[in-house]
Amino acid sequence: MSKTENKKTSILIIYTGGTIGMVQSLQTGTLAPVKFDKILDEVPELNKFNFNIKTIIFNPVLDSSNVGPSEWVKIARAIEKNYNSFDGFVILHGTDTMAYTASALSFIFENLDKPIILTGSQLPIGTLRTDGKENLITSLEIAAAKKNGKSMVPEVCIYFEFKLFRGNRTVKRDADQFSAFHSVNYPTLAVAGVDIRYSPEYIYYPENKGILKVNTNFDDNVVILKIFPGINEKVFKSILNTPGLKGVVLETFGSGNVPTSRWLLNCIKRAIKKNIVILNITQCEGGRVAMGQYETSLELLSIGVVSGKDMTSEAAIAKLMFLLGQDMSVDEIKMYLNKSLQGEISE
């Protein structure tokens, strides 16, 4: 047997926090994160894996409402530092902002050729009916899975409730159901039943891999602005006039439509003149922005609003922050917003 064949699979778990590792406070009844050793005690099954599992634990562990760009970078740095020593990475993370973190990580890593699987749970791992055990165990299997010596899923993914999704296509859809996530505009990458069935036709396997690049600059001078019937002129204007604002994810109706009020379109026009990037994303769960299909989106197209096509809002805001953080002109940013960087958009 050659040396490489002999080598035991190694997986790095990065525990950031989330319900999976929370316990209920006896005093207040609220859920708060606990130490990782407690989690391992709850899952003795992990000892049955025939691979090396190491863990890095965030200090402090976080509810994912407190995870943002600096934590995305912290996760990315931990992976970068350990990239060559492990076959795959599992990130335990709260579900609330998991789709944002997964999107951000997908943009951070260029030339990724190992799996980064985010998972968590709706019920703490110490509770009887927890979904955390299955999510963790199957995520580890997926992170370790190889075919002909290469990772089965060399992507940033979310695994939850028997399904593996491309991370930057995923949205948290339910606060109570075990199936907390879905990916409406892109098929699942694998389904776990008796076997884990992968769909290689939907998994990204780049032909010529360069070396791993880790781009960690994000610019947070951005906002997600959801259009609604009766939106107020003063409020809308004041948001677009925020000093230092560089980018807006405009969540519009249907296929990218907004009210045709003159004040609204003029306001957007002025923002674009000031080099603020406006990215049009649909409020619908599925489908895509098609500016010009209706009169109510035609002018957006002509004044220079960028189409986010079928991107999720989570991917869109992470991508906008990422591109604004790179050393690029506004025209370049607009060009890349419209194109797939990491499979987040259908061109």
Which one among 69, 115, 120, 247 touches ligand ASP, defined by CB under 6 A? 120
Q: Is residue 135 within the footprint of ligand ASP (CB under 6 A)? A: no
Cα–Cα distance measured from residue 231 to residue 305, given in angstroms and rounded to the nearest whole number? 19
CB neighbour class for 175 (10 Å; exposed up to 12, middle 13-18, buried from 19) = exposed
How many Å is the Cα radius of gyration of the chain?
A: 21
312 part of the active site: no
The sign of the CA dihedral 41, 42, 45, 49 is negative
Residue 138: name the closest of 263, 45, 211 by CA: 45
Whether residue 51 contacts residue 144, with contact meaning beta carbons closer than 8 Å, is answered with yes
Active-site hit among 16, 19, 252, 312: 19
Stretch in the footprint of ligand ASP (CB under 6 A) among 12-20, 132-140, 214-222, 321-329? 12-20
Cα–Cα distance measured from residue 186 to residue 337, given in angstroms and rounded to the nearest whole number? 18
Q: Is residue 312 within the footprint of ligand ASP (CB under 6 A)? A: no
Q: Is residue 71 within the footprint of ligand ASP (CB under 6 A)? A: no
Which one among 36, 61, 71, 95 touches ligand ASP, defined by CB under 6 A? 95
Question: In the bound complex, what is the minimum distance in angstroms from residue 65's beta carbon to ligand ASP?
Answer: 6
Q: Is residue 314 within the footprint of ligand ASP (CB under 6 A)? A: no
Cα–Cα distance measured from residue 255 to residue 292, given in angstroms and rounded to the nearest whole number? 9
Binding-site size, ligand ASP (CB under 6 A): 11
Whether residue 320 contacts residue 338, with contact meaning beta carbons closer than 8 Å, is answered with no
Instruction: CB nearer to ligand ASP: give 19 or 297.
Output: 19
Q: Is residue 18 within the footprint of ligand ASP (CB under 6 A)? A: yes
Instruction: CB nearer to ligand ASP: give 65 or 85.
Output: 65
Footprint on this chain of ligand ASP (rule: CB under 6 A):
17-19, 63-65, 94-96, 120, 122
